[in-house]
Amino acid sequence: MGFPIHRPRRLRVNENIRRMVRETKLSVDDLVQPFFVIYGEKVKNPVNSMPGVYQLSIDYLVDEVRRAKDLGIPAVILFGIPEKKDPIASEAYAENGIIQRAVRAIKEKVGDILVITDVCLCEYTSHGHCGVVKKNEVLNDPTLELLAKTAVSHAKAGADIVAPSDMMDGRVAAIREALDAEGFKNIAIMSYAVKYASSFYGPFRDAADSAPKFGDRRSYQMDPANAKEAIKEASLDVEEGADIIMVKPALPYLDVVRMVKDTFPEVPLAAYNVSGEYSMIKAAAQLGWIDYDRVVMETLVSIKRAGADIILTYFAMEVAEKLQS
């Protein structure tokens, strides 16, 4: 029986009713705030393609992480910009590298907030690719050792979760084995299990100075046309020991987010609301084309509705403030 007995608008007539029957609720507990960290003191370099985002020296980073903690955000993820680069990304796993220093500073001066570290080589290699390169080919197996060394160095510095984003085959198993061998059995792995070769990463590459110097990353990141392949990639990472799996980017791949969550309901699922998604909203808002606050909230709710348990987003601190008000 339909209208007039059934009137769905009855449950939309005011905000209190809408709140009471709302199916998807965004919480500060869902959010992870990314940060870009750079050498120096009192450095706050704006990222021109990402309004409101900065490359921060460790002193400023500590202040921002403390603010994130005070807003109730449970975790941050760190991306480093090294002083020097070389073909084998030696700064990525250096004992006193930028990420290693940043983690130690946060743990000493902020304390009770989860620190996730991006485990990849692209920010640290002179060629800008995510692995060892020989004759313009990115080599999978030699890269695994360097990724494992990087993850262990982050764990030694105090990281709570390591997040490999390179998309090399077998890297979760290599990292898990290395962490366990060094006594870090309780360090979790948040795998970028389903990472597409997306054009939405452009502003991030400005922020992290990580654009490849030749070619592109389509030989190791996923083809945007493929969805079923996402299940294969996620399955392999879960089998290798990933504690959390991720889909990246989020908005163009909400169908994939839902597919992965339905296939692995017991595994926490993260989705990365990436730089291009962020920058498009910022740019449209600056032009007065959208209601900024409502679009931001609608964006994050859509990601959670699709199945994400965790949302990495540059909007995290802004949204946390709104959720508290």
Active site residues: 195, 248
* Gap between the terminal Cα atoms of the chain: 42
Mark out the alpha helices in the chain (DSSP H runs): 15-21, 58-70, 98-109, 140-157, 171-181, 202-208, 228-240, 254-263, 275-286, 292-306, 316-324
Structure tokens at 133: 């390169």
Name, in order, each residue with C-beta under 8 angstroms of 17's C-beta and a sequence gap of 6 or more.
10, 11
Q: What angle do CA 303, 313, 240 make, to 5 degrees?
A: 75
Structure tokens at 46: 């704006």
40-49 contacts at long range (C-beta below 8 A, 24 or more positions apart): 47/203, 47/206, 47/207, 48/206, 49/202, 49/203, 49/206, 49/207, 49/275, 49/279
> What 8-state DSSP symbol labels residue 222?
B
Name, in order, each residue with C-beta under 8 angstroms of 55's C-beta and a sequence gap of 6 or more.
36, 37, 38, 43, 44, 45, 47, 81, 207
What angle, 0 to 180 degrees and rounded to 10, lies between the N-to-C axes of helices 275-286 and 292-306?
Answer: 150
Q: How far is CA 211 from CA 162, 221, 234, in A?
A: 22, 14, 26
CA distance 248 to 217: 14
